[in-house]
Amino acid sequence: MRKYLIEYKSFPCVLNHDFNNISGIKFFATYSTQKIEYIIKEFDSLDQAIDFEIEKGEKKLVFISLISGDDNFSKRNYFIEYDNKTLTASEEISFSYGYKIYKIYFSEEVFRITRRDKTGKSFEFDKYYTRIDNDKISDSFVDLIPKFNDVFLEAFFIFDVIWKNTKKRGNSLKPIEIEALIMQGKKAFEERSSIPFSQIKWQQIPSISKEGDSGTSLCKKFELPGLSICKVEYSAGYRSDFCFEKGQIFHCLEGEIIIEISGTDNINLSSGDTWLVSNDTSSHRSFSEKGVKLLIIEGDFLINSID
């Protein structure tokens, strides 16, 4: 097993992985709002993700995705926790309430939810859920939780529902109720997640700068549940630093860009052109020789639903 060092304010932690080399690492914070919104944000560093502040009374979880240098489709995901000057990483979310211990194991392929009593070794609740079936999100998994199409949001959603119900019910929450409560949370989210009439005032949204393999990107992001709209400007010579698998709609506002797609011909876009692809259909990255301005849209509606 290979080792990869991460640090938060000089506190170290080791990630175990089986990659020959690493091409990149991504840092995310997931959280909910009092309006029943579930949000994920990407950060440039672990310090930024852990220090990011959310609404009082809500919970935030931090995750890391380690990307293989041999195959950009391969990654290992970790839940990161900092407590009492100790930094830890795990492939499961673990928390306790009273004398009950809950664990949520998450991966691209499968989830597992367990509950046991601190005083006993046997599980009161222990169920596996297949996430990916025949290269797409399984129907049974979508029955349980919303179509986030993001493993970190899915893990956070399950955690958030169980955590909030343990706060209300304490140890009186019965194991047989766990699945029903998760589906009840899904129903409440979907009833609130329709897109309202919205005006985007781009001039009021701050730009986030990020370095690519070469060049720099400036991004302004507007988010609603299940929808992300970004106004992006790439500098001359910009090349993205990793390959995307997420579904995206690219609309070129000004300039020219090349979409480099693994295993097929490149796509050239110029002002007024649009290109789109659903999730997990291709591995693609961007390059602009002279700079470009884009509108990039991502959302749950780009889930690949082809059988």
pLDDT 10s digits, 189-214? 887 766 666 788 898 888 999 898 89
- Determine the Cα–Cα distance for residues 223 and 205; give it in Å rounded to an integer: 11
Q: What is the pLDDT of residue 92?
A: 97
Does the pLDDT at position 216 exceed 90?
yes
Mean pLDDT of the chain: 88
- The DSSP result for 62-128, as a single string, is EEEEEEESS-TT-EEEEEEEEETTEEEEESEEEEEETTEEEEEEE-SSEEEEEEEETT-SSEEEEEE
CB 22 within 8 A of CB 4: yes
88-97, 121-130, 222-231: lowest mean pLDDT where? 222-231
Does the pLDDT at position 133 exceed 90?
no
Q: What is the pLDDT of residue 11?
A: 96
222 φ, ψ (degrees, to nearest 5)? -115, 130
CA distances from 246 to 95, 189, 241, 289 (A): 30, 22, 15, 24
Does the pLDDT at position 50 exceed 90?
yes
Give the count of alpha carbons within 13 A of 297, CB side only: 14
CATH 3.40.640.10 fits 202-302, yes or no: no
Q: What is the pLDDT of residue 278?
A: 78
CA distances from 19 to 1, 14, 133, 184 (A): 9, 14, 24, 39
Q: What is the pLDDT of residue 97?
A: 87
Q: Which ranges constitute the DSSP H helices of 174-278?
A: 178-192
Does the pLDDT at position 280 exceed 80?
no
- Determine the Cα–Cα distance for residues 42 and 5; give it in Å rounded to an integer: 19
Q: What percent of the chain has pLDDT over 70?
A: 94
As a whole number, mean pLDDT of residues 246-268 equals 87
Domain with CATH 2.60.120.10 in the chain: 202-302
